[in-house]
Amino acid sequence: MGDLDSPVAISPAATAEALFRAEGIAKSFGPVTVLRDIDLAVRAGEVHAVLGENGAGKSTLMRILSGHYQPDAGAIWLDGKPIVFRTPVEAEQHGVVLIHQEILLAESLTVAQSLFLGREMRRGPFVDDRRMRGITAAQLDELGCRASPDARVRDLPIADRALVQIARALLEPHRVVIFDEPTAVFTPHEAQALFAIIAKLKRAGTAVLYISHRLNEIEQIADVVTVLRDGRHVATRPAAGLSQLDMARLMVGRDMSTLYPPKPPLPAAQAPHVLEVSDIVVPGHVEQASFTLRQGEVLGFAGLIGAGRTELFEGLLALRPSRVGELKIAGKRCHFSDARDAFDAGLAYLTEDRKGKGLMLNQQLVPNLTLAALDDFCSGPLIDRAKEQQGFTESQGRFDIRAGRRDLLARQLSGGNQQKLMLAKMLLLSPSIVVIDEPTRGIDIGTKSQIYAFIAGIAASGKACIVISSEMQELIGLCHRILVMRAGRIVGEVSGDDMTEDRIVVYATGAAQDEAVQ
């Protein structure tokens, strides 16, 4: 414990060799100190991972290194010389680029227009659209993205938008590339294409700073690991000497060997079906999908990006056009005209896009919590503000929503606390069935453990839960059964001893079509 937990300063030799380094970085926002005396150094041709729980200061540090924020103290060095980036444009001019976790693209533009926005190629006085489309297609192909250069950004799935954003950042060579949660919306399959690009950057002598909560990725690609905790430097270690458990313990300061809670008892075969779906069709996305869910069950949905998992449940809840052969909840035939019908029938849905669809980011925490169940907080035609405040106090305690003040805006919470707020919001509806799409996307490992415990608690309380996730280990650790989707169809089911990553991948990629469940 002592050796692992004790801070390790960056050695003088490593600092001398560093292409890019920071010394004594500090940053506060009002009375809140986010970073304290942070040192960091990355060498040419090195992948340096920066880890920490949400709120540890990782993204703030990266924004300082890329010119988005100015530090309150400390200095940045490039090629052994001090340098100040007053804006992100200045940083890019010196070869330092940050690829944000948030999607920062103009949704009305095409993919090709987005890649070349502000740096359009010309042929004489005219924009050379043909050449830009060709380069865009090549860039996307290298990243494994099948989006058309002529597609509108707003029409792309989240994963493809993220790939377009990465392609834009890598369109020109840079000396330092900073990735902030780049694979948060990717399955392992999509992530491998990005890792190949990172390996190419390394070979070219580019220094890479990499933030991710997926510790298996860090094991795979990182050369050096720096861990932050509560805005302080905890340790810098060679990645080869750290296991995932070592990294997790450094991040959270406690043992994380029991990440997944014990699964609730497997529902008996005679346990009642709380949800029965037959032959649902979501045009362009899902073909004739059928499945059932028992009381007390945690049912997983696996598949590659584009397999139709999210679209299946958006169609089921009437959030997009669909046709359902038959739908039963607790044995009763139902028809949903809109999401409110689904809520009223006891079915709650937590979207994968908490920032875009799940929360009102520019509203305070209390209205975000109570909006879906607002009738329960009214006295006559008026909202009972005292009752609302009490409801928030109870939910904040139950779900450990960490907010210093309740007048904060939802966008000011960390990703993990946003997810807990959204979970609290939907459970105020007292649903019998909870569908959670990507429950821990972009969330640190400590908060993941909390979310997993909440999911297990939902099932243990007699409700049923459906988990859609791109993390196979997450599904295996949480679920009683896993249904695998490919190309809009449910093609396989795994449970018991068959619930392995290899088995899921076989179904998801079509490697065992003769065994697929059609």
- pTM score, two decimals? 0.62
CA-CA distance, 254 to 446, in Å (whole number)?
9
- The answer to whether residues 20 and 42 touch, using CB atoms and an 8 Å cutoff, is yes
- pLDDT at residue number 150: 93
Cβ–Cβ under 8 Å, residues 323 and 281: yes
Q: What pLDDT does 4 receive?
A: 52
Could you say which DSSP state residue 356 is in?
Answer: I
- CB atoms < 10 A from the CB of 67, how many? 22
pLDDT in tens, the chain (518 residues): 345 554 444 444 455 489 999 999 999 887 778 899 999 999 999 999 999 876 788 989 999 999 999 999 999 999 999 999 999 999 999 999 998 877 788 888 999 999 998 889 998 889 999 999 999 999 898 888 888 999 999 888 878 888 888 888 888 889 999 999 888 777 777 788 889 889 989 999 999 999 987 888 999 999 999 999 888 999 999 999 898 888 888 887 766 567 789 988 888 888 899 999 999 999 999 999 999 999 999 999 998 777 899 999 999 999 999 999 999 999 999 999 998 899 999 999 998 887 778 888 888 899 888 888 888 888 888 888 888 889 889 988 998 898 878 888 888 888 888 889 999 998 888 999 999 999 988 777 778 889 999 999 999 999 999 999 988 889 999 999 999 999 899 999 999 988 988 888 888 877 654 444 44
CB atoms within 10 A of CB 173: 12
The predicted pLDDT at position 254 comes to 63
Going along the chain from its start, the domains and CATH numbers come out as: 1-95+177-185+207-257 (3.40.50.300), 272-346+431-518 (3.40.50.300), 355-430 (no CATH)
Burial class (CB in 10 A: 0-12, 13-18, 19+), 161: buried
| 8 Å CB contact between 66 and 85 | yes
Q: Is 4 exposed, middle or buried (0-12, 13-18, 19+ CB in 10 A)?
A: middle
Maximum Cα interatomic distance, the chain, rounded to a whole number of Å: 74
Angle formed by the axes of helices 188-203 and 158-169, nearest 10°:
0
**pLDDT, position 256:** 57
Any idea what DSSP says for residue 239?
A: G
Residues with Cβ within 8 Å of residue 461, at least 6 apart in sequence: none
Both structure tokens of 286: 């899902």
Tokens 């959030």 belong to which residue?
319
Which residues is 47 bridged to in the sheet?
Answer: 208
As given in the structure block, the two tokens for residue 164 are 């377009």
Q: At residue 55, what is the residue type?
A: G
